Every structure is written in structure tokens, then in C-alpha cells.
Chain A
């Protein structure tokens, strides 16, 4: 069910949203560190993209532009600093576990990522999770390739000096999932 004047374009957009939502949500999670915020971020970004969908002819352009909007929106949210409330379905119970040193890898990495500036974090995620070339990252982030290189380099250096990452880099035996 579309909302625009062109049902064909709306149908294409809906297909793109339903098909790529999970991938975008994963990207959003690495930007925000929280699944519900990630879903909110993706929906906000796609809403903004919908108003510009006619100028984006290909699906690749649509996705690239969506990632651009996600990076900018996430930075904007961070600058506004209104994350006083974190939406969650269940009360977190991992705090008590942390006191006894039982911290799982995911939490460690999330905490390390959270110490990075937003755009540095975005550059790292685009480079090492999305496997995008630096030129494309530069296009998405609206900056030069040199800026991307320095951001990624600074981000990696920050992660390396982070004690949590030092702990994470030791091999951990994961239990096989049933």
C-alpha cells in the first residue's frame, strides 16, 4: 500500500524496503549499538529517502543514499543528545554479570565502538562490515577519500589501544549453537 502519486514507484520502493531492511538494520545496529534504535534509524532514513526516490533511479543508488541518510541521521541524533531513554523490551540483566567479569564479546565490541566519534564509527563499519571501497565510503559520507582513510586509521588505532578490544582479541571458545 503506497502513499504517492505513482503506484509503480511506490511498489518498487516497497520491494526495496522489504528486501533490504534486515541488511540496513544490521548496519544501523553497528551505528547505534541498539536494535530498536537501529530499526528506528532505518525507518527514519527510509522515510526521508522516500521523498527523494524519484531522483534515485537504480536500486544501488537508493541503498547508497539510504546509508548516507542513516550516517547523517545517526550523527544528528548523537549531537542532539536526547538518548536519555533507551527503548527496550526487556530490562537489561547483564550489568550484574559484568561485576563478576563475565562479559561477552558483543558487549565488549559495542562498548569500544561507543567510544569512537560517530563518523569515525560509521567509516569503520562501512569499511570492515560492509566491505565498501574507500571511494564509495567517501561518497556516502560526503567527504574526501583522504578523510575516510584517516578516519578509519584513527578508528582502528583507538580500538587497538582500547583495553576492551585487547581482551576481545584473545581467542574465545564459543559454544556451538544447537
Chain B
């Protein structure tokens, strides 16, 4: 069998077509394209950083040149007067500093002003709780579209996972990578005895790596790898079938499967 296999392999690749261009030139052309993309990416990143810094700087001072948030005792207190509730002629909706707003005859009585004023804490900085990381887990939703006996399955994956590590022990790159490629492979059963899936490849789930949250919707391919692979699965007989989809995500305690099933009826 093995000798036969080697012979068949040799026959299979006996007449390769000539390369479309000189191979080294084609590879160098690709290298130049990749380098241009990387450079463009770096420029965009730098521009985004500049914009972020500029926004941060402009947020420090308001239109009057004062810091929008101040806790210093000597700083003027901002009081926002509400709409007038009495017949006293007032200037409504004005913003004044505490030094003259309280004693101005045009302002409403203190009691009215007090109820309309925001609490002092609203103008001072409040302690901001650190952002809570979303819990690890993947939510799967399945949508099937039936046309006769052919069914198309769309899968939506959303949630958070630890980033798996590659062969070199480092976490996989997450930029421009589909969510499903950061998970530990999939397996699906069409309910009629046929199944398919995707291999996670040489990746490992290691506790302590960075986590990532993503969402992705894609159409399942049946007969993967075959020349006639398509996005639909065709059932041989009419009936109701249970389609089962399992995906593994990287949790703190290793790969964890998430399974979702749906029933499809074909006629």
C-alpha cells in the first residue's frame, strides 16, 4: 500500500504547470506589497495616535480655558440655573460662577435653585471603577435556511476567549483574524450521519494569555476540502434532522466546548 501510495503521489505531481512568472520575482513582488501594507498600517496607527492625543488635550480645557473638572478649593464653582419658576424677571439657563450667581437679584430664590442644581458631586470628579473584563465564554447562534432538501447554516459566534498560543509558544496575532480562527476548532453533525468540522491546527490553550472579545458570522461549508465544497448541505431524504454544532474556546482551565443544536425540516 505504502509503495503504491508513493508511486501514485509521484504520478500525481508528474507534470506540474510552469510557473506563471519567474518564481523569485513573484515572491519579491509579494514581499514589496506586504512591506507597503505594513508601512501604511504604521502610518495609520501613528495618525490615530496623534488624533487621540489631540482629543485628549482639547478635553483638558473647556471653551473658557478652564479645566472642566476641578476639585481645588479656590476654583470657581459652576452653578447652572434652571428655568425660572416665579414671576421674577430672570435670565434663564445661564451659567455663572458662584461668586456672583448667588447674590444676583435676577436669579431665582435659593430653594428653587437648589432643587434645580445638580448635586455638587456631579461637577467634581467621581472615582471611576476599573473596566470589568467580560467573562470568558462563547455564545453560538445558528440560523438555517431551507430550500427544498438543501440547507444553508449560518453561525454567529460572539464572546470572549483567551488567545491561544502558536507553535512558538507566543499568542497568535489577533489583528485581522477571524474569531473562529482564534478558537479551538469546530465540529458539526448534520443529523443524517454526515459530519464536518475544522481543525484548530497546532495551537495550545495556555492560562494567563490575553483575552479577546469578538463577533463573527459565517456560513458553514460541508464537504470541506472536496472540489465540490459548497455552503449548503443536501439531505437525501425528507424529514426532521437535528443539526449539532460544537466549538471550543480557550478558558482559564483549558479548551471548553460550547454546543448548540437546531432542528431543520426538509421536504
Q: Which residues of A contact B (CB under 8 A)?
A: 1-3, 10, 13-15, 17-18, 21-22, 25-26, 29-30, 33-35, 38-39, 42-44, 46-47, 50-51, 72, 75-76, 78-81, 83-84, 86, 105-106, 109-111, 114-119, 124-125, 128-129, 131, 141-143, 156, 159-160, 168-169
Contacts and interface: CB of A to CB of B under 8 A. Distances in A.
A81 B17 CA distance: 25
Interface string B1-22: 1101110111111001101101
Contact of B225 (A72, A114, A160): A114
B139 interface: no
B253 interface: no
Nearest to A20: B23
Contact of A47 (B31, B201, B227): B31
Contacts of A47: 27, 30-31, 34
A2 B27 CA distance: 10
Contacts of A81: 198, 218, 220-221, 224
Given A18-B23, A43-B26, A3 B181 contact: no
Contact of B9 (A42, A83, A125): A125
B198 A79 contact: yes
Interface of B: 1-2, 4-6, 8-13, 16-17, 19-20, 22-28, 30-32, 34-35, 167, 178, 180-181, 185, 198-202, 218, 220-221, 224-227, 229, 231
B9 A118 contact: no
Contacts of B6: 128-129, 131
Contact of B12 (A21, A30, A42, A159): A30
Given A43-B26, A44-B30, A79 B16 contact: no
A14 B6 CA distance: 30
Contact of A14 (B20, B28, B167, B180): B28
Contacts of A43: 23, 26-27, 30
B41 to A, nearest CB: 15
Contacts of B220: 81
Given A46-B27, A81-B221, A125-B9, A115 B16 contact: no
B181 A79 contact: yes
A156 B26 CA distance: 36
Given A22-B16, A78-B198, A86 B227 contact: yes
B153 to A, nearest CB: 12
10 contacts: A14-B28, A17-B24, A22-B16, A29-B13, A30-B12, A47-B31, A79-B200, A81-B221, A119-B201, A128-B6
